[in-house]
């Protein structure tokens, strides 16, 4: 199977979804390098931050499905519904959990006199996304899926 053989197939959808996540994680690391002037490769494997890789992945997947099967197809409707649930979770539930973790970390530091190891370690605070991070990730997903679809179509 050649790379051009994935055009207009489910493989294209899978490729777009996972590569959009990969590219946005790389962008996240590069933005941190530009803004903070520090390399932090841990950002590559963490959730949260700008842009939302979850949003880029699910919107890229939805867009690829729409480009291949049509934007009025049942498959696109399912993919879009899935994307909305993931983006709502990223900006709502996971963001709220991150805020709670930050609050609990402050309480633990006060109670245990800043010895978080005694309390089981620091809770992860960067879990979710702001609505802007979700929006930017979603917009990236649309453009990325269209770009890959055009690129693969040109190879054939």
What pLDDT sits at residue 49?
75
Residue 126 in this model has a pLDDT that exceeds 60: no
Structure tokens at 120: 């089981």
Phi-psi region of 96 (alpha: psi -120 to 50; beta: other; left: phi over 0): alpha
Question: Greater confidence, 139 or 156?
Answer: 139
pTM listed for this prediction: 0.78
> pLDDT tens, 50-98?
789 999 999 999 999 999 999 999 999 999 999 999 888 877 666 666 6
Annotate 53-104 with DSSP letters as a single string: HHHHHHHHHHHHHHHHH-TTSHHHHHHHHHHHHHHHIIIIIHHHHHHHHHHH
Q: Which of 63, 87, 83 is nearest to 73 (CA)?
A: 63
Label residue 127 by pLDDT band (50, 70, 90).
Answer: low
Q: Is 125 in a helix, a strand, or coil?
A: coil
Question: Greater confidence, 11 or 124?
Answer: 11
Highest mean pLDDT among 30-34, 99-103, 142-146: 142-146
Print the domain residue range for 130.
3-155
Average pLDDT over residues 86-114: 71
């Amino acid at each position: 199977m050649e790379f051009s053989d994935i055009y207009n197939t489910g493989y294209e959808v899978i490729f777009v979804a996972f590569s959009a996540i990969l590219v946005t994680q790389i962008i996240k690391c590069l933005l941190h390098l530009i803004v903070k002037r520090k390399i932090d490769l841990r950002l590559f494997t963490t959730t949260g931050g700008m842009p939302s890789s979850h949003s880029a992945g699910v919107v890229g997947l939805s867009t690829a499905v729409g480009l291949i099967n049509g934007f009025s197809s049942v498959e696109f409707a399912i993919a879009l519904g899935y994307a909305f649930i993931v983006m709502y979770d990223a900006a709502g539930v996971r963001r709220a959990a991150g805020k709670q973790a930050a609050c609990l970390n402050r309480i633990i530091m006060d109670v245990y006199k800043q010895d978080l190891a005694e309390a089981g370690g620091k809770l992860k605070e960067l879990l979710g996304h702001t609505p802007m991070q979700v929006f930017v990730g979603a917009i990236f997903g649309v453009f990325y899926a269209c770009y890959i679809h055009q690129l693969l179509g040109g190879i054939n």
